[in-house]
Amino acid sequence: MPQSFGDDALGYFTERLDQAVTRAALIGTLHRAKRNKAFQDSRLVGLAIDGTTAGHSTHRGCEYCRPQHNANKEVIAYSHQMASISVVGTGLSLPFDVEPYGPGDSEYAAGQRLLARARSQLGARFADYLVVDGEYATAPFLHAADRAGIPVIARLKDNLPELSQSVERRFATCPPTRVYRDGKDRLEVWDADDFAPWETLRWDRVRVIRYRQHKPDKTIVEAQWLTNLPSRRVGSLSLYHLAKSRWEIENQGFNDAKNRYGLEHICHHHPNSILIGWLLVLLVLVIERLYRIRYLHRGTHRVLSADQLCRVLWLSLSKPSFDTG
């Protein structure tokens, strides 16, 4: 009788796979997608880098296991953490690489390794901007992006007190630079490109945008971002949308990968096995998303969700229960 294989067989198999081949398959898929105009409706193609946790255990099983502590600093569990990079801002979010980090490593360091690898594999002209959270708003990371030849949009938080205070002094005393209607939201934007860089940042000037988003339910969302994208290239409203594309790596990246593609599951506590498992999940996600959102969009039928597409596939593979003759 046919038998399915279990985690042990999958673990031994992935332990021996070459991670470079899987990464090359993901990069090749992105290049082909761009050649086939999958991003043609977007003026700018973005990349986003962020970190997440995937896979928990009660004991340390490999070098990627990071201890989790309680309030008394006692180790209560272990988890696996990674930084990931994704195409964003195109209506088609495609996470295409991950970089694990274990004890003694950090999301910040893993993100820099991801950026360097993406630059060498994708090429300098693939993406137009990189969007990151405030943890990456440091001079070394911004300089690394400069070397990679990609402008950065980074969240401005209290970890940069000198710049934050300067922005607050100016924006708090002046009206918005622009006021827009963005869908059902009313959007106030403060935008200035002449802030002085902090001491270690080798930029001539820093552009800062603050937005205040008024939603129909009276909710107000406010945030600040710094960038080296010049205003002559990207206007205030466009920069607002580019900054907001950072959330795609969480919503369409991590959340989907964990809830629908099994990213949380660790089949084998071995460094190569864990990494290969994560990369294979991303490869499946990218291929499925390109097929469902781009290829199936051609024609008069509506775009199917992942769940609907899976259901149609299963129905098409089943045998009819009645005689059609």
Chain CA centroid to CA 260, Å = 17
Burial class (CB in 10 A: 0-12, 13-18, 19+), 49: buried
Question: Which pTM value belongs to this model?
Answer: 0.86
| Integer Cα distance of 202 and 100 in angstroms | 29
Q: What is the CATH number of the domain that holds 270?
A: 3.30.420.10
Q: Is residue 176 part of a domain?
A: no
Q: Is residue 230 part of a domain?
A: no
Q: Checking DSSP bridges between strand 185-195 and strand 129-132, what pairing results, if any? A: unpaired
Q: Is residue 204 part of a domain?
A: no
CB 90 within 8 A of CB 39: yes
| Integer Cα distance of 243 and 223 in angstroms | 10
Handedness of CA 43, 45, 51, 57 (dihedral sign): positive
Model confidence over 221-234: pLDDT tens digits?
Answer: 999 999 999 999 99
Rounded to the nearest 10 degrees, the angle between the axes of helix 19-35 and helix 107-122 is: 60
* Nearest alpha carbon to residue 163 among 207, 130, 133: 207
Model confidence over 249-286: pLDDT tens digits?
Answer: 999 999 999 998 888 888 788 889 889 999 999 999 99
Question: If DSSP codes are grouped into helix, strand and coil, which group holds residue 72?
Answer: coil
| Integer Cα distance of 110 and 97 in angstroms | 11
Phi and psi at residue 100, to the nearest 5°: -70, 155
| Integer Cα distance of 51 and 121 in angstroms | 21
* Nearest alpha carbon to residue 261 among 58, 62, 13, 54: 54
Burial class (CB in 10 A: 0-12, 13-18, 19+), 55: buried
Q: Is residue 244 part of a domain?
A: yes
| Integer Cα distance of 219 and 278 in angstroms | 37
Question: If DSSP codes are grouped into helix, strand and coil, which group holds residue 174?
Answer: coil
- The residue segments making up the domain with residue 45 are 7-155+238-311
Q: Is residue 93 part of a domain?
A: yes
Question: DSSP string spanning 183-207?
Answer: TTEEEEEEEEEEEPPPTT---S-EE
Question: If DSSP codes are grouped into helix, strand and coil, which group holds residue 130?
Answer: strand
Q: Is residue 209 part of a domain?
A: no
* Nearest alpha carbon to residue 153 among 59, 75, 89, 81: 89
Q: Is residue 82 part of a domain?
A: yes
Q: What residue has token string 């046919």?
A: 2
pLDDT higher than threshold 50 for residue 106: yes
Number of domains in the chain: 1
Kindly indicate the confidence band of residue 325, based on its pLDDT and cuts at 50, 70 and 90: very low
Model confidence over 159-212: pLDDT tens digits?
Answer: 999 999 999 999 999 999 999 999 999 999 999 999 999 999 999 999 999 999
Q: Is residue 299 part of a domain?
A: yes
Model confidence over 73-101: pLDDT tens digits?
Answer: 888 888 889 999 999 999 999 999 999 99
